[in-house]
């Protein structure tokens, strides 16, 4: 199975990708995660190398990730893990800019069955409404040539997130589902591993 | 308004719009690109002009023009780009033109690297341009403070006719935090000097930094210097954490102050009387505030993402009466709270020396 994770940057795509990978790995699947984020060189999936190793998750990332080289290079083949029977999670960069990198795989994984999940955060500035989020979904689809198939409501305020943050966003999430015609998925998935800033003691 | 999740760079840009910035001129560079990207979308919707210049040099000179016309204006870059703007910044100082300059620092010297750094402290506070010129330097340590300081920077720049810099770093620029935008009423300083059309009612206003007579030039420099002195008396800002009884005071600004706060908390948990002093203005440097923070200090530890630059201002402010030590990482490496804690422990063991 192929899961493609997209959304506005800051929606929590990387957080969701990591949690989905751990969730599937614990359920016994052989998981590969591809870090396709060539937009943000700072906070990214490639930072989670050791956590992935502990859980037998394969990480595919640019050989320049987390280095001083700001080079948008992607040197890996996405079809290989799929043909080896692995579950592939593709963590795409934010917005249409990030989604462009996905377009290169249109004729490979784009021809296989995939689930493309839009990660929504209604507390992100300028994507506060269903309409604004739908606009970004359309831009991502246009830039990548892939079709979004479902929506994950990941509404959060970073470290200030409370259960109410998500609760209050549910009406907007349902509205996005209605106007896009796409289902909301993983409504009960626990998000318990977070991308952390380097300010805190381990 | 309800809190929203924003990236530091976006928050700087949105705050500028709300503070009444009408002209932005810039050139892309990692890790500040989102400032320009955000303004390119949002500034025109708010009655402003976004222009991607052909270079950093062009951008800062466009800022000169807009500032001369009395408009709130801003440019943004990262370390190597700021060096390119140096000449223009000196001209802005020489012509007494207010503006806001953002530096989201990365590793240097030269092209250095794209990871966060604080190695432009000397450049920002001592010699951003040539001549007897200074600028306000504000050092935020959270996304919310990036919002608040942009507003203050615009107001103070106008009030003193001195450019103001926001000295951030790649970590602050790229991180996401919840922010709210307080009601901002753009402070309207009268600008009778602006070159905005005399309408045959007054003589021409000229924005200029060239003086043909040395004595006239000297007078203008001393007059400007008196404003710098006034800034040092009334415009300093600082923040304290657990300093009241602190024997070991850590001095740090920006992103490293957050790392240090974690380290100070951990030190307190282990019974060490540690505190954190955080300058918010780097020029003017909050000397008296530092002295107050160190009233019970036996040792001071300055922590920076550089080889040690602010440490000199800390020593000067304390008149070398308290030993000042330094710990730093540089070249894009961020110190960890554990590393800082180890330094605090080391100083605590030798605090009697």
Q: Does the residue A197 lie in any domain?
A: no
Better pLDDT: A79 or B94: B94
Sorting pLDDT into bands at 50, 70 and 90, what band is A89? very high
Cross-chain Cβ contact A201/B2 below 8 Å: no
Last residue of a domain, one of B199, B219, B234: B234
Give A194→chain B minimum CA distance, Å: 13
Alpha-carbon distance of A188 to A6, in angstroms, equals 19
Question: Which candidate from A9, A157, A200 shows the least CB-CB separation from B3?
Answer: A157
CB contact under 8 A, B5 and A123: yes
Report which of A58, A50, A47 is spatially closest to residue A87, judged by C-alpha positions. Answer: A58
Distance CA B353, CA B345 (A): 14
Q: Do B227 and B244 fall within a single domain?
A: no
Same domain as B141, residue B107: yes
Q: How many residues are given for chain B? A: 353
The answer to whether A50 contacts chain B (CB < 8 Å) is no
**CA-based R_g, chain A, Å:** 16
**Per-residue confidence (pLDDT) for residue B124, from 0 to 100:** 98
Q: How does residue A125 score in pLDDT terms, banded at 50, 70 and 90?
A: confident
Whether B12 and B131 map to the same domain: the answer is yes
Closest CA in chain A for residue B178: A157
Which parts of chain B sit beneath pLDDT 70?
Answer: 1, 186-187
**Does B5 contact A42 at a Cβ distance shorter than 8 Å?**
no
Strand B248-251 with B299-304, pairing: parallel
SS (H, E, C) chain A: CEEEEEECCCCCHHHHHHHHHHHHHHCCCCEEEEEECCCCCCCCHHHHHHHHHHCCCEEECCCCCCCCCCCCCCCCCCHHHHHCCCEEEEEECCHHHHHHHHHCCCCCHHHCCCEEEEEECCCECCCCCHHHHHHHHHHHHHHHCCCCCEEEECCCECECCCHHHHHHHHHHHHHHHHHHCCCECCCCCCCCCCCCCCCCCC
Residue A51: what pLDDT?
85
How many angstroms separate the CA atoms of A133 and A143, rounded? Answer: 15
* Residue bearing tokens 């249409």: A96
Tell me the C-alpha distance between A174 and B80, whole Å: 47
Interface probe for B, chosen from A7, A37, A42, A94 (most Cβ of B below 10 Å), is A42
Exposed/middle/buried for residue B222 (C-beta within 10 Å: 0-12, 13-18, 19+): exposed
A179 interfacial to chain B (CB closer than 8 Å): no
Q: Is A135 in the B-facing interface, judged by CB distances under 8 Å?
A: no
CATH assignment at residue A115: 3.40.50.300
Q: Of the candidates B4, B65, B9, B67, which has an alpha carbon nearest to the alpha carbon of residue B42? A: B9
How many separate domains does chain A show?
1
Nearest CB among A42, A125, A199 relative to B5 is that of: A125
Whether residue B220 sits in one domain with residue B137: yes
Average pLDDT in the A7-18 region? 87
Cβ-defined contact of A125 to B3 (cutoff 8 Å): no
Cross-chain Cβ contact A158/B177 below 8 Å: yes
CA pair distance B93, B134, nearest whole angstrom: 7
pLDDT band at A202 (very low <50, low <70, confident <90, very high): very low
pLDDT of A201 > 50? The answer is no
Nearest to B309 by CA among B171, B175, B167: B167
Whether residues B78 and B217 share a domain: the answer is: yes
B234, B251, B279: which is the final residue of a domain?
B234
From the list A10, A70, A160, the residue facing B3 with the nearest CB is: A160
Query: Are residues B114 and A70, on separate chains, in Cβ contact within 8 Å?
Result: yes
Pair B264, B288: CB distance under 8 Å: no
Residue A33: how many other CB atoms lie within 10 Å: 29
- Would you tell me how many other CB atoms lie within 10 Å of the CB of residue B183? 6
- Structural domain that includes position B102: 4-234
3-state SS, one letter per residue, for B278-329: EECEEECCCHHHHHHHCCCCCEEEEEECCCCCHHHHHHHHCCCCCCEEEEEC
Count of domains observed in chain B: 2
Same domain, B137 and B228: yes
Closest-CA distance, A86 to chain B, in angstroms, reads 33
Please report the pLDDT score of residue B248 as a whole number.
98
Residue B84 C-alpha from the chain's centroid:
17
B227 shares a domain with B255: no
Residue A191 lies in a domain: no
Residue A185 belongs to some domain of the structure: no
Cβ of A124 and B261 within 8 Å? Answer: no
Using a CB-CB cut-off of 8 Å, the residues of chain B touching A96 are: none
**A149 has a chain B CB within 8 A of its CB:** no
Q: Which residue has the higher pLDDT, A24 or A40?
A: A24
B329 and B208 assigned to the same domain: no
User: How many CB pairs below 8 A link A and B?
Assistant: 76
| Rounded CA separation B174/B7 (Å) | 6
Calculate ∠ Cα B241-B244-B248, nearest 5°.
75
What is the H or E stretch that residue B77 is in? strand B73-77
Cα distance between the two ends of chain B: 52
Measured between CA atoms, the residue of chain A closest to residue B264 is A201
Query: Same domain for B121 and B245?
Result: no
- Among residues A27, A98, A101, the alpha carbon closest in space to that of A57 is found at A27
pLDDT above 80 (res A75): no
CATH code at position B104:
3.40.50.970
Select from B234, B267, B285 the last residue of a domain.
B234
Distance from CA of A36 to the nearest CA of B (A): 18
**Which residue of chain A comes nearest to B113, CA vs CA?**
A68
The answer to whether A10 contacts chain B (CB < 8 Å) is yes
Set of chain A residues whose Cβ sits within 8 Å of the Cβ of B255: 199
Instruction: Show the domain range for A81.
Output: 2-180
Burial class from Cβ neighbours inside 10 Å (0-12, 13-18, 19+) for residue A168 reads middle
**pLDDT over 70 (residue A192):** no
Give the list of residues 6+ apart from residue A84 with CB closer than 8 angstroms, or none.
Answer: none
H/E run at residue B24: strand B23-26
- Quote the minimal CA–CA distance from B266 to chain A in Å: 8
Q: Does B131 lie in the same domain as B29?
A: yes
Name which residue leads in pLDDT, B322 or A65.
Answer: B322
CATH number at residue B286: 3.40.50.920
One-character DSSP codes across B339-352: HHHHHHHHHHHTTT
> DSSP class of residue B44?
G
Considering the domain architecture, whether residues B185 and B225 belong to the same structural domain is answered as yes
Q: Chain A partners of B32 at a C-beta cutoff of 8 Å?
A: none
Domain assignment of residue A152, yes or no: yes
Q: With a cut of 90, say whether residue A196 has pLDDT above it.
A: no
Are B128 and B274 found together in one domain? no
């Amino acid at each position: 199975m192929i899961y493609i994770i997209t959304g506005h940057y800051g929606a929590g795509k990387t957080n969701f990708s990591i949690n989905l990978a751990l969730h599937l790995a614990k359920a016994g699947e052989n998981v590969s995660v591809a870090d396709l984020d060539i937009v943000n060189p700072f906070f990214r999936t490639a930072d989670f190398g050791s956590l992935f190793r502990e859980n037998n998750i394969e990480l595919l990332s640019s050989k320049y990730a987390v280095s001083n080289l700001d080079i948008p290079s992607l040197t890996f083949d996405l079809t290989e893990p799929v043909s080896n029977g692995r579950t592939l999670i593709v963590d795409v960069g934010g917005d249409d800019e990030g989604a462009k990198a996905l377009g290169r795989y249109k004729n490979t994984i784009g021809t296989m069955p995939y689930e493309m999940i839009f990660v929504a955060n209604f507390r992100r500035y300028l994507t506060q409404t269903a309409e604004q989020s739908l606009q970004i979904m359309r831009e991502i689809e246009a830039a990548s040539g892939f079709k979004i198939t479902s929506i994950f409501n990941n509404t959060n305020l970073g470290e200030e997130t409370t259960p109410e943050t998500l609760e209050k966003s549910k009406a907007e999430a349902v509205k996005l589902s209605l106007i896009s015609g796409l289902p909301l998925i993983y409504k009960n998935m626990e998000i318990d591993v977070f991308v952390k800033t380097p300010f805190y003691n381990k | 308004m309800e809190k929203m999740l924003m990236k530091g760079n976006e928050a700087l840009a949105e705050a500028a719009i709300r503070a009444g910035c009408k002209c932005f001129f810039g050139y892309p560079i990692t890790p500040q690109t989102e400032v320009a990207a955000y303004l390119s979308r949002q500034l025109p919707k708010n009655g402003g002009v976004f222009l991607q210049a052909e270079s950093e040099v062009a951008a800062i000179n466009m800022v000169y023009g807009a500032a001369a016309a009395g408009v709130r204006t801003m440019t943004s870059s990262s370390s190597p780009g700021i060096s390119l703007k140096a000449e223009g910044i000196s001209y802005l100082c020489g012509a007494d033109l207010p503006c806001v300059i953002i530096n989201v620092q990365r590793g240097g010297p030269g092209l250095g690297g794209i990871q966060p750094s604080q190695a432009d402290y000397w450049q920002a506070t001592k010699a951003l341009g040539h001549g007897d010129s200074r600028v306000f330097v504000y050092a935020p340590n959270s996304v919310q403070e990036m919002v608040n300081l942009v507003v203050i920077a615009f107001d103070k720049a106008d009030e003193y006719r001195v450019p103001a810099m926001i000295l951030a770093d790649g970590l602050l620029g790229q991180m996401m935090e919840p922010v709210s935008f307080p009601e901002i009423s753009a402070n309207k300083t009268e600008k009778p000097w602006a070159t905005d059309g005399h309408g045959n009612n007054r003589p021409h206003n000229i924005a200029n930094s060239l003086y043909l007579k040395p004595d006239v030039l000297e007078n203008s420099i001393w007059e400007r210097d008196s404003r710098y002195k006034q800034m040092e008396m009334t415009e300093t800002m600082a923040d304290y954490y657990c300093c009241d009884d602190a024997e070991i005071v850590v001095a740090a600004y920006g992103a490293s102050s957050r790392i240090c706060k974690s380290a100070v908390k951990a030190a307190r948990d282990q019974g060490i009387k540690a505190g954190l002093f955080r300058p918010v203005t780097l020029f003017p440097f909050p000397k008296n505030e530092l002295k107050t923070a160190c009233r019970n200090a036996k040792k001071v530890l300055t922590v920076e993402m550089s080889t040690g630059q602010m440490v000199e201002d800390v020593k000067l402010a304390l008149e070398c009466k308290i030993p000042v030590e330094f710990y730093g990482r540089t070249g894009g490496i961020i110190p960890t709270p554990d590393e800082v804690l180890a330094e605090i422990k080391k100083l605590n063991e030798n605090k009697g020396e």
